[in-house]
Amino acid sequence: MKKLVLLGATGSIGIQTIDVVHQHPDLFSLEAVSAGRNIQALRKILKENHIPHACVQREEDCLALQEEFPDVCWHWGDEGLKELSALEGYDLLVNALVGFAGFIPTLTGIESGHDVALANKETLVCGGALIYDALKKHGRSLYPIDSEHSAIFQALQGNRKKDVKRLIITASGGAFRNLGRDELTNVTAAQALAHPNWSMGAKITIDSATMMNKGFEVTEAHWLFDIDYDHIDVIMHDESVVHSMVEYIDHSIIAQMGAPDMRLPIQYALTWPDRYPLMQEEPLDLAKIATLHFKNPDFKRFPLLALAYEAGRKGGNLSAVMNAANEVANLAFREGRIPFLAIEDIVAGAVENAPFKELKTVYDVCEADEFGRSYAEEQLRRLAA
């Protein structure tokens, strides 16, 4: 029986993680869950499961819920997330938070001796170097939940790392993949939120449309698999059937395929190296799909993909700055405050204007995040004026 601490339980990945837990009540139990502000969804989770610890973002929600669920040990805010990650006696931290808010809880989990199943890619984009060192120092493991990284992780099983030639990350291209740059001027958040293949949280769906998400995934792969940026490629793949690939030195390419259903990579991260049955509404039917398409990405069409490579190669604080500016710009676009293409300008401007600094401490990571955020907010004010 594995005891799980699940951060971001009310989100897209969080809910699917609970579904996996419910499919295997003999394998998993929930020791703690966290939610942001979606209290209704948290109530439902607490009523359906016996969970000793819970955390919410705001103190007022915490106080109200304490009365309603007196048997639960309550936590709140960023400190509360750290407290859950640092709990004793659980087996795996599942981080399904969105954004920079996930970084410190991941680090805390590792430093307090826990393995982590990671959906929160921003953890590695912002503080990959610190996470990498902490994993080594504390002898812990990171299991990828992101479907591309799970595919690579699966394609690496039984092979030697020294034989890897390159990683090939597949990309759907998001909601606007068939539009040229001149057609992007007036696209709306509602249009961007209709992803062709996956149903996900709002932030990552916009990141898919800008391909910032794919850029993040390149950085995520760099830190997860300890491989340099020259040996990580992206390939466009319309159908989201091949979730990613590993090419070996003999040119053999091993791919992992499956239906676009996040419960599969979630479950594998929770059960590795074992596999268990998984109930899926529509398992992959290759004959029905019949044709798979691949093509090289156009870096001019998707400049944020190029920017992520550039920031990653230069290293230091630049990826963290990029992430922070993107969080602000992504939200502003979702709220209808800026046009789609302004996201790119704001994120690129933040990286361009950031004074370079190596990341040595948590403070350095937070400082980089702060810079990216205030740069982006300043641009929002300028655009609104």
**Contact residues for ligand NAD, defined by CB under 6 A:** 8-14, 34-36, 38, 57, 96-99, 101, 119-122, 146, 198, 200-201, 203-204, 262
Would you list the DSSP string of 65-86? HHHH-TTSEEEEHHHHHHHHHT
* Binding-site partner at residue 200 among Mg ion, ligand NAD, none, CB < 5 to 8 Å by type: ligand NAD
Helix 263-271 with 147-156: angle, nearest 10 deg: 50
- Nearer of residues 204 and 351 to ligand NAD, judged by Cβ: 204
Query: Smallest distance from the beta carbon of 87 to ligand NAD, in angstroms?
Result: 16
**For 319, what's the count of Cα atoms within 13 Å in the CB-facing half-sphere?**
33
- Our finding on whether 146 is near Mg ion (CB under 5 A) is yes
Query: Smallest distance from the beta carbon of 217 to Mg ion, in angstroms?
Result: 6
* Binding-site partner at residue 31 among ligand NAD, Mg ion, none, CB < 5 to 8 Å by type: none
Q: Which residue has its beta carbon closest to Mg ion?
A: 146
- Nearer of residues 12 and 147 to Mg ion, judged by Cβ: 147
Strand order in the sheet with 164-171: 232-236, 164-171, 242-248, 253-257
* Binding-site partner at residue 121 among Mg ion, ligand NAD, none, CB < 5 to 8 Å by type: ligand NAD
- Nearer of residues 75 and 214 to Mg ion, judged by Cβ: 214
Query: Smallest distance from the beta carbon of 262 to ligand NAD, in angstroms?
Result: 5
Rounded to whole angstroms, how far apart are CA atoms 255 and 262? 17
Query: Smallest distance from the beta carbon of 12 to Mg ion, in angstroms?
Result: 12
- Nearer of residues 69 and 229 to Mg ion, judged by Cβ: 229
Rounded to whole angstroms, how far apart are CA atoms 5 and 49? 13
Per-residue 3-state assignment (H helix, E strand, C coil) for 324-354: HHHHHHHHHHHCCCCCHHHHHHHHHHHHHHC
Rounded to whole angstroms, how far apart are CA atoms 78 and 58? 9
Query: Smallest distance from the beta carbon of 290 to ligand NAD, in angstroms?
Result: 25
Contact between 298 and 171 under an 8 Å Cβ cutoff? The reply is no
**For 170, what's the count of Cα atoms within 13 Å in the CB-facing half-sphere?**
27
> Which positions touch Mg ion (CB under 5 A)?
146-148
